[in-house]
Amino acid sequence: MSIQKPKGTQDLLPGEIEKWQYVESKARELCQRFNYREIRTPVFEHTELFQRGVGETTDIVEKEMYTFLDKGDRSISLRPEGTAGVVRSYVENKLYGEPDVSKLYYVGPMFRYEQPQSGRYRQFHQFGIEAIGSVDPSLDAEVIALGYTFYREIGIKDVTVEINSVGNPSVRAAYREHIQQFFAPVKDQLCKDCQSRYERNPMRILDCKIDQKYCEGAPTIVEHLDEECRTHFARVQQYLTALGVPFRLNPRLVRGLDYYTHTAFEYKAAGIGAIDTIGGGGRYNGLVGQIGGQDQPGVGLALGMERILLVLQAQGADIPAEKPLDVYLIGLGEAAETRIVGLLHELRLEGLTAEKDYQSRKLKAQMKSADRYKAAYVGILGDNELEKGEIAVKALATGEQETLSLSEFARTLAARQRG
RNA sequence: GCGGUCGUGGCGAAGGGGUUAACGCACUGGUCUGUGGCUCCAGCAUUCGUGGGUUCAAGUCCCAUCGAUCGCCCCA
């Protein structure tokens, strides 16, 4: 059997790739307006970076990483998310030495070893931003607003923004105990998953679809925030309102990465089957220090490209397709075919999109081909035209045909197509 | 890691033990000695994901395996 692509990966072929290019170009353009600059970091890093950054006990690190030993016996992992690498680079390149907040964005592949399903792949792509160097809640709000604006501008409808505060480490430790106490009496009635969540990540029980009945009246983390956390969260909400970003408080929102502090948020939209999260992020004060830098607070987000495209498709959004051809050239006979090659190049140098046949097909087949390419013009050159120094030019849309002189052919069509 | 469904030409899809594997789309050629989109005609799978088994006989039944897809966990 022939070789197939690895499970959970995809080939993005012409026809599909245009959609990616559209979404990516919108992302870059938006980042420029918000003054975020691109950063490209390796797709693999030392495994330790993710263990320290993402967190030893997270699902991502525990069971989803592509980890291997390289020839120097170093443990290497394909990046499962973007933040750790960006923060590592921030530290390694001493970007904290710069006077302003570092506002960075990235677009690229991430890797997680999971069973694929709708909207989930082993190699998937994220567009993300990171703003490092400030605790200002207006920065949290800006990050959330950028994501929201992005969805709006590429044409996704009905995006919901959910926010929560997950406090700081000491708030969270205290809250964890509260919630364990709350569920302790019903612990044995909880579903199998929640029984393990009880130890590992009790906040997740609140998210469970099966055990909702036991969740009523459960303490929320928001009720347990200390003064500093509460103030920060309130300010973020004020700024979001000022920015015109509608949001919903979700006291049960918990993210799967350990590094979040204070603000956590997710974007949701329907259209990907069982999955509705299309992006998320939060603040990560403490992560930079954990990775070994002089401590700096940060906030960021990551949006799933595949999920964006799935939602766009589900909503029937029209995404720019491939561009039609300006000119298709047909040469009849050896002399004409030779001349066609030069003419084709002239057209291309003039900036037009031009093509010819490479399969020695009949005139009729070449016409069909031009039609498939949606060519605006077909140039037909035969012996009789060649003798007169002319070329027959047919406009496919109208069927009208004219004769142009070979010397001004390229310039004439270029002028028309540019206009 | 676990569970459901599915794997037949470039694509969509019939066939559910019996001699030559429907049909549609696309494609190629002809109808039209140098002009596309329409019509009509012709051509286009020594073979049904892979491996093994049952049988006189296997796309068709059984097992395994790989893959796709959807779901669980978790998330993008």
Give residue-wise pLDDT tens across range A229-280.
999 999 999 999 999 999 999 988 888 788 899 999 999 998 888 899 999 9
Share of chain A above pLDDT 70, in %: 99
| Intervals of CATH 3.30.930.10 along chain A | 17-168+226-314
Buried b (16+ CB within 10 A) or exposed e, A335-362: ebbebbeebbebbeebebbbbbbeeeee
The mean predicted confidence, pLDDT, of chain A is: 91
Tokens describing residue A71 = 């020839």
- CA gap A161, A245 in Å, rounded: 8
Reported as a single tens digit per residue, the pLDDT across A82-132 is 999 999 999 999 999 999 999 999 999 999 999 999 999 999 999 999 999
* CB of A213 lies under 7 Å from some atom of strand B: no
Band the pLDDT of A1: cuts 50, 70, 90: low
**Protein A2 CA to nucleic acid B46 C1', in Å?**
20
* CB of A81 lies under 7 Å from some atom of strand B: yes
User: Among residues A361, A148, A289, which one has the least CA distance to residue A140?
Assistant: A148
For the segment A66-71, the average pLDDT, to the nearest whole number, is 93
**Protein A272 CA to nucleic acid B10 C1', in Å?**
28
- Domain spanning A327-418: CATH 3.40.50.800: yes
Higher pLDDT, A184 or A376: A376
Q: Determine the pLDDT at residue A126.
A: 97
- CA gap A98, A305 in Å, rounded: 31
- CA gap A86, A293 in Å, rounded: 12
Could you say which architecture CATH assigns to the domain A17-168+226-314? Answer: 2-Layer Sandwich (3.30)
pLDDT of A410 strictly over 80: yes
Q: Are A215 and A182 in contact (CB under 8 A)?
A: no
- Chain B: nucleotides below 7 Å from protein CB are 1-3, 27-32, 34-37, 49-50, 66-76
For the segment A121-148, the average pLDDT, to the nearest whole number, is 97
Q: Are A305 and A127 in contact (CB under 8 A)?
A: yes
Q: Determine the pLDDT at residue A216.
A: 77
Kindly list the strands in the beta sheet with A67-69, ordered across the sheet, starting from the edge strand earlier in the chain: A44-46, A75-78, A67-69
* CB of A126 lies under 7 Å from some atom of strand B: yes
| Intervals of CATH 3.40.50.800 along chain A | 327-418
- Strand, coil or helix: A114: coil
Nearest nucleotide (CA of A386 to C1'): B34
Reported as a single tens digit per residue, the pLDDT across A156-194 is 999 999 999 999 988 988 888 888 888 888 877 777 777
